[in-house]
Amino acid sequence: MERLQKVIAHAGFASRRKAEELIKEGHVRVNGKTVKELGVKVSSSDRVEVNGIPVEREEPVYFLLYKPRGVISSVTDDKGRKVVTDFFQQIEQRIYPVGRLDFDTSGLLLLTNDGEFANLLMHPKNEIEKVYVAKVKGIPSREKMRSLEKGVRLEDGKTAPAKTKVLSIDKKKQTAIIELTIHEGRNRQVRRMLEAIGHPVIKLKRERYGFLTLQGLKAGEARELTAHEVKQLRTLSKS
């Protein structure tokens, strides 16, 4: 379900603010009934009209991008930096990222124009596993790794238990490579968790999202999700 004004704006009828005005002024009908409230949500099966003209919705599309470092997880950037949609110049639909990866974080990122699908995946109750590989300063002790597994206290509350694995250590450089599996999606969460145990991140990559991986892709490359993968993600988020 998506907010009515968002559906109207996404279809190109007007800006989000103008769409809100159209609704309040009685120019919008849903399934033949005039709607003047801004809180109304509609599904893909609802018929929406603006001044009697049907709102044609874009065909939903779903992509998996191997986001490189130094790219913003957004559709625009006021500082002129590269954004993830720059890798989809050939796509007619107005897609946007599902969640985000930090500017300096690389890895798996989903993009779509299906708001209902995006909201489903990002909802806090849907515990989809996300696997990160981090290179950190120092070599964490077993005790510190265990604290990640129990959950660490951050400024916005304690994290849910994580799964951890030390993949390798470099005693000479005093660095380690750690695999961390979480299902939450807080801002800069993995970096903050590792800072909290005294091992700041040097390099970070998201390797997996649910059952999806980066197999076959290089940084900056993308592929369309199959219908089966989309169905699996919907099932995973509802299970």
Distance between CA atoms of residues 138 and 176, nearest Å:
6
Same-domain check for residues 181 and 82: no
Same-domain check for residues 85 and 111: yes
pTM for the predicted model, two decimal places = 0.81
Same-domain check for residues 204 and 226: no
Same-domain check for residues 113 and 220: yes
Into how many domains does the chain fold? 3
The rounded percent of the chain whose pLDDT value lies above 90 is: 77
- Our answer to whether residue 78 is catalytic in this structure is no
For residue 170, which amino acid is it?
Answer: D
Residue 12: per-residue pLDDT: 73
Catalytic residue among 77, 78, 86, 102: 102
Residue 59 pLDDT class (50, 70, 90 cuts): confident
Task: Please say whether the beta carbons of 84 and 124 come within 8 A.
Answer: no
Same-domain check for residues 112 and 167: no
User: What CATH number is associated with residue 156?
Assistant: 3.30.70.1560
Same-domain check for residues 47 and 160: no
Residue 110 pLDDT class (50, 70, 90 cuts): very high
Same-domain check for residues 158 and 192: yes
The string of DSSP codes covering 184-238 is ---TTHHHHHHHHTT--EEEEEEEEETTEE-TT--TT-EEEPPHHHHHHHHHHHH
Residue 13: per-residue pLDDT: 77
Same-domain check for residues 79 and 102: yes
Same-domain check for residues 113 and 221: yes
Same-domain check for residues 181 and 217: no
Residue 89 pLDDT class (50, 70, 90 cuts): very high
Same-domain check for residues 115 and 218: yes
| 85: containing domain | 62-125+212-238
Distance between CA atoms of residues 127 and 200, nearest Å:
25
